[in-house]
Amino acid sequence: MTQSRQDIATLREFFQRMPKVDLHRHLEGSLRLQTLAEIAVEHGIDLPAYSIEDLRPYVQVTEDEQNFHSFLAKFRLLRRFYRSREAVERITYEAVADAAADNIRYLELRFNPVALSRAQNFSFSDVTEWVGNAIANAQKDHDIVVRLLLQIGRDEHLQVAEEIIEVALAARHLGVVGIDLAGDEVNYPPHRFAPLFQKASQEGLGITVHAGEAGGANNVRVAIELLRAQRIGHGVRVIEDSDVVRFVRESGVALEVCPTSNFQTGVVGSLSYHPLPDLIALHLPVTINTDDPSISDTTLTDEYMVAALVIGLEPAQIRDTVLTAVNAAFLPEEERRRLLERFTAWNTLPTK
């Protein structure tokens, strides 16, 4: 049945008010376009355009794009803006403020120290400290809890990956709770990272791995077995292999699903055929996330609207994914329990 504009507006208001959790959001994909333009002018960064609308096609996915490598290419320009401590802290603070404005109450923000350090040859520990300082300030000003994940590229040198893990271990007082492996899973298998990720897991860092996105279902099994992944970034292609579905369900590993991103990268051909309902029906732990809000021009409220109106989830199912996300958060058990109590206290669903 077609919903009226009033029904759609009511649903959007409901989802906007809903306290939310985002476990899969990249800092480098969360920059305000106005901030990009201002930093470019301040630091003399040569851009293809300086007005917001003219700059938009270079950093956001346009309607005619639906390609994984085209999506990743947006980061080449976005990673040129970390020109000073002030820029890193501003971009981070604004990313948290924007999440809080969308009523996200728990956020795990991931970033690649290599990307943040490259423009001015900063140290990994310095940029991590600056990001940590910014989230501390943002948490004081906004009703949100933020934790950090340090990302490692699949094409990275092992020595660099080891250094990033060492920084993550040393920066837990700044809110760092885990590491992430990301990038081109088709051309860069993860096997060489196994000893490093196993050590990181033993040291108490949470492990999430991008898998089952551009690559097939078996990549998810490898990430769990070899890298000790506790969560999988995207993971939607597990649906292609019933044995992997069963393995993921038995492992209890949560999937960080990002619907709009999955469409824009070409992982799914149409949002109306997104496997999210099937993943839920198969009793897999599923969460809904934004991935890169600036690149995709989305919010978590938008993702919930897509999940409800296009993919076909009920509001109660979407709320269940929030509770799944709380349970999958990389938090000590006592902190997770307190967070879960806060979310379960909010139990109103919209009337039909």
Report how far residue 37's alpha carbon sits from residue 45's, in angstroms, rounded to the nearest whole number.
Answer: 9
Report which of 289, 297, 291 is spatially closest to residue 28, judged by C-alpha positions.
291
Helix axis angle, 242-251 to 218-227, nearest 10°: 30
User: What is the total residue count of the chain?
Assistant: 352
Cβ-in-10-Å burial (0-12, 13-18, 19+) of 270 comes to exposed
Amino acid identity of residue 161, one-letter, is A
Fill in the DSSP letter of residue 48.
S
* Nearest-angstrom CA–CA distance, 299 and 116: 23
Which is it for the CA torsion 10, 16, 21, 24, positive or negative? positive
φ and ψ at residue 179, rounded to 5 degrees: -130, 160
Of these residues, 156, 163, 213, 256, which one is catalytic? 213
Q: Which residues contact 3 (CB under 8 A, 6 or more apart)?
A: 11, 309
53 is catalytic: no
Burial of 161 (0-12, 13-18, 19+ CB in 10 A): buried
How far is the C-alpha of 225 from the C-alpha of 223, rounded, in Å? 6
Strands (E), the chain: 20-26, 104-111, 145-153, 176-182, 206-211, 231-234, 254-257, 286-288
Measured in whole angstroms, the distance separating CA 343 from the mean position of its chain's CA atoms is: 20
| Residues annotated as catalytic (active site), given as ranges | 213
